[in-house]
Structure 1
Amino acid sequence: RTILFTGLIEKSDHIEKCDRSESCSAFQAAGYIKQIFQPLIDSDHTDDIKVRFIRNENDIMTDESSTEPIYTILQNAPCLDKQAYIIESFLDEFIEGFVHTYQHIKNHAAVLLDSDNEFWYAIKKITSARVLIRTTLFYAMLIRRVQQPQFSANQEVAHQYLEGYLQLHSSNLNLQLAECEINELLQLNIPYFTHQPNCKDLFMGDNGKCANYFKFSAMENIHWNIEHA
């Protein structure tokens, strides 16, 4: 199952068939397909995901040593001047970037660990990061479930179902966190959580919080990683 099956993505009105009657969609069939519909994200916000497709006239390269149809991997690759690029083509550049960044942090560890560094004060003051407790698809699936007649007609039954399902799919269920998730889901909302880098608390969409949810704060983790780099 994919995000397309959640109903959160609007279907394109201009999806066409190629001359072999194969679907030119995000899930391209095998074959010598002349046209590709490239997915383009209009909005990637959790509650308003929207994708549309644009036509790419770039022909698919075929393997001349084989007469068998091939599978294309170009649909999800970035295109520039009708040329598709895949991440595997740039592994050396990625590795070089990670090595350079790691070495730069290591060379400036003393400055970064200085508690008087304004960098840390800026982080404490302005940063509030999203915390992904479960995937958006997981929550979207549960919202669809509680919209079914047997649950939508009885909030208590829906609450019991959600509680049991979250328990089943949690290795160590936090009851306060689960209650927040359930309350949001019953209102057909995607549960939303944030944290601040200088504390161990998890903040909820209703302004509540789970105290000491994290064993270490993000800043403590950063300090530890720099010290042991």
Structure 2
Amino acid sequence: MPVNVKDVMTRRVISVGEDACFKDIAALLVTHAVSAVPVLDSDGHVTGVVSEADLLHREEGAERFHGASRPPPQTRPDQGPEADRARGKVARELMTAPAVTVSMDVSVAAAGRLMEHHGVKRLPVLDGHGRLAGIVSRHDLLKVFVRPDRDIEREVRVEVLVRSLWMDTSRVRVAVQNGVVTLSGRMILRRDVQIAVWMTEQVNGVVDVVDELAWDRDDTPAGERG
């Protein structure tokens, strides 16, 4: 069945408070080999994220606005978000906010779409109270697809066909290769074929489903037949 974020996320998360200083944040990123850390308020809610890029942008901005190569005062914009970040010293001033977060009960597929939409590589994961529960990365999402073929085959045969659909598995064959499931054989109703294919697509680790099933009777509405 579908995998949720809570099934693949990392639960031990390196995070910082809003008053964490630039140097301490940089040290955490280097020491723990992570590229970003969530920023938490006093109640454990995520208020933003500080990434390697945020710290580097701060240094780049500091040089631009305050360094030796800065433009003359009359042409230098000393106000605005970019200038404020160049002066940033603590997490609340350096972070990207608001943070893009995800609920721990969201599916892995939905989390992947959220990452793609916002162009991020990881998401802080929130529990039912809106507090930090973990973090999920693209790498974590890919874990779903390294499941052994034999485990996928067993789940399709036992959980989908037998326990969920009460099928006679002597009439249906299940083959799995590199995550691609091929269903072949014959079922009584066409509707059962459609349900079996849909449920197989939801099994963890399934990359694709090849439907080679036939049926004895077409019980679908006339408008759906083709």
Q: Given the two structures, how large is their TM-score scaled by the length of structure 2?
A: 0.28
Q: Which is bigger in relative contact order (C-alpha 8 A, separation at least 6)? A: 2
Larger radius of gyration: 2
